[in-house]
Structure 1
Amino acid sequence: MQVHFTRVSTPSSFRAGAAAGVEPAADGRGITVAAGASGSWTGPWVAPAFGIEELVASWNADAPPGALVEVEVQGRSPGHETRWYALGRWTYADDRRRRTSVPGQADADAAVEVDTLVARTPLRAYRLRVTLTAAAAPPTLRLLAAAASAGRADGEIASLPGAACGVELGVPAYAQSVHAGRYPELGGGGEAWCSPTSTAMVLAYWGSGPAPPDYAWVDPGCPDPWVVHAARHTFDHAYGGTGNWAFNIAYAAHFGLDAFVTRLRSLREAERFVGERIPLVASIAAAAGELDGFPLARGTAGHLVVVTGFAADGSPIVNDPAAESNATVRRIYDRRQFERAWIGGSGGAVYVISPPGKALPPSDGSW
């Protein structure tokens, strides 16, 4: 599998990009627009050394009530440029018109599957465009990035254990299952909240997330109300669920963290993050019987978990929100089975969430 991750919104690219109605943020960290105005910024063409089959964008932004952030992508192949595809319209506020993916985008070049651009034939380059729309207070974009990939792994995957064996991070354990049947308007209820529950665990690990006044609206009898808050503020009103990868990233970034989606190629790469004390939210898929000890006995086509460490033999230690209670969230999975479920299931998709300035491990292009 080939992966190319790019932070499109570097200071130099912000200066070089095409902009209309956009201005530098007052603190110098990003771009914004004037109150009541709208503006767009178009990034440079990015050309990985391979044909792009899939692309997922990430953004970190401050979006006060009424403000909107819309991210689009355009692809290019020899002699041809695609149309612009919307990868998401986002605001932190609970606004069904504004926090939504955009369905119905498919043509001969590509299709958008909720948060992911899937090319019909490999693209040679892409560029991103962001449009900021302000209400009384303007939005500010701090990060715009994308992970382009090609060649998902098939069959058996087995990396050898690395340096993080025996390291386990103290990530709080939250179970989505304790919310079963609650707030069904948010994607069918808590039993479907694997993504926001995983995001909430990582936020808590970093000592971040919503404060009690933020989730005062949650039923007082509901456990872990911050998980309900995450579900509400990651809910994609077009998709009808809380599993939009980009929206979970934007939610985490709302609390001052740096966050992005990328794809890793093996657990050896995941170990590098754990070695730097950074947990990862990983997207997996497993049929019945393919992952020993998996709480979803019937299997799943898509599920989010938190990789919190590695046992002495290299087996991944995982906080699996599908567990029946917080006390049973911690799991140790077979390394080969988990790697197959993760790399084979989602192409190694992860949320990387960490405080600003936190050093990431050395990379060869995946982050």
Structure 2
Amino acid sequence: MATYRPAATRRTDLDLLRIIVCGGVILAHALLIFAAEPRYHVKSAAPWLPATIFYEAFRISTLAIFFVLAGWSAVASLRRRPWQRYLRDRAERVLLPLVAGVVLLGPVIKWIELGQGRDLRINGFRLVTPPDYGFVEFLSRYFGRVQLLTWSHLWFLAYLFVISLALLPVLLRLARVPRREWMPGRVLAFLPAAGFALLILTTGAYWPFLPNLTQDWGNLLYFTACFLAGGVFAAWPGWEARLRAEAPWLLAMALAGLAIVLLAGEGVVGRIGVGLCAWGSIGAALGYAGRHPPSPSPLLAWLGEATMPVYVLHHVPVLALGVLALGWGWGPMATVLFAWPLATLLSLAAYRLLVQPFAWPRRLVGMGPAPQPPKTAPGLGGGIFRPDGVA
């Protein structure tokens, strides 16, 4: 049996992966304006096939990888602190940003959505007549009617909070066992894909995608499986080493699964394709990132710390820029290439100018206090996706 030798450096590969995936989420939301999926805040008059294809790929891969990274970080966190502090951390860095986002960002997102004649509620979606009153009047209605409240993209935080608490006994166990350094055989690099496919198939996960938590048990269980896989990776680094060895084949599996999804659509075969694509994406992403870890740098540290705030903030500029481009009559490609990079830059600027220097804005987007100057090597900041510690 081959043996995995743990590295002595920080997991800069996971930090870079988290940054890339966050950028992929922003791109996915820009693509969603033109994808065939009808349930979104802003939509074009007609779908665009390339947007549908690439959105499907990003939706399957980025969500699965984000939950895996969060599971990895949870186990790493529990190695360094008691479970009571972990629960407090989840409340401060997951629940608080969710509530703050619903209160501070939700009204703007909902106003944009209603202005497009769309009403995406926690219990469904419908077309509506755009409001004939102003934003100030809308605010009183937003906070006075539960049905108008929206968590939009921050549904991820609600699911993450529930999963983090529900799996606490398992996470504690994974954090306390000695790390398994031996590398398993090739079969374990691919076998979980069958488990993912079976889980998605039997629970009816993935379609339709309306993350309301209370009536979305299939997706909740699916994301729980992704989160748990990340926790197991943290306890068994040898398994990650096997993924690195099989990264090209895992990428091929992901692409094959995506092709099945696109060709078969909703149904039994399509859900099997989702499972194959999700696990292949997880394995290929971790595998290739581990093969080429970047050197620590101030830019990597800054972007790593910015990931959570940018995720929280990015949806408002994506939607606003999408509305502008649609109003100007721009085509799909021009709109995506306009909204994606500019929304990313605006989110980073908002983080740098309005969040990073100040204590309360940091807390509201899930960050800890501003770090003190390091005495040794620089850290990588805080965040629910951050892989604390070394491997």
| Short-chain TM bin | under 0.3
Q: Which has the larger radius of gyration?
A: 2
TM-score by length of 1: 0.23
The structure richer in helix per residue is 2
Which protein has greater RCO, CA pairs closer than 8 Å, 6+ apart? Answer: 2
TM-score by length of 2: 0.22
The structure richer in strand per residue is 1
